[in-house]
Structure 1
Amino acid sequence: MGFIAFIILGLIAGAIAKAILPGRQGGGWIATLILGVVGALLGGWLGGLIFDANLEGFFDITTWLLAIGGAIIVLLIWGLITGRNKTAR
């Protein structure tokens, strides 16, 4: 899969992850989309490392599930980081 396709996948995965997660996450939609790209990279890397997943196809369900899962993980970590900063004030 090409780099541009992976960025588009990450943007969509970030939006889906934000819709799945309950409550409010820190940051707006732009931050969520950027975190979605980071999460897609993380999910793809972990999927290839742990599950030996083949991430060649843009329309492959495995690629989408790993990208969305990675985006959810990154958004949860981001929420924990920004949540601590708000309570420390």
Structure 2
Amino acid sequence: MTIESILGAIVIGAVIGALGRLFLPGRQPIGWILTIVVGIVAALIGTAIAQVMGVATTDGIDWIELVMQVVLAVVGVGIVAGLKRGSRV
């Protein structure tokens, strides 16, 4: 892994995580670092699912893959926010 690929994963994870929080209604009690981590995981899983499903890689933006990643980020942010909310006493 190069530094460029690590920085790229962080940037893409931040964007995907932010979109996940944006599309999830209500307030989420998680910080921005956790949002980036959820976004990175969602981006990796979304890419893997898209490859298994045979979604063609295009020269431009892969919209189907992007939608999968954002949906996974919404689910991930919701789960993490629910766990964080439930752990408060």
Shift of 1:18: 0.8
TM, length-normalised to structure 1: 0.72
Task: Give the Cα separation in 2 of the matches to 1:15 and 1:60.
Answer: 18
Shift of 1:74: 1.1
Which residue among 30, 40, 44 is the counterpart of 1:41? 44
TM, length-normalised to structure 2: 0.72
Which runs of 5 or more residues in structure 1 are unaligned? none
Give CA-to-partner distance per residue, 1:24-72, whole Å, 9 cap, x none.
11312222122111111122223333x2324565622123112211211
Task: Give the Cα separation in 1 of the matches to 2:16 and 2:59.
Answer: 15
1:52 equivalent in structure 2: 54
Relative to structure 1, the CA distance from residue 69 to residue 57 in structure 2 (aligned partners, 3 Å threshold; closer, same or farther) is farther
Task: Give the Cα separation in 1 of the matches to 2:21 and 2:68.
Answer: 15
CA contact (8 A) 2:14 2:39 kept: yes
Identity, in percent, stands at 25
Runs (4 or more) in structure 1 with deviation over 3 Å come to 2-7, 54-58
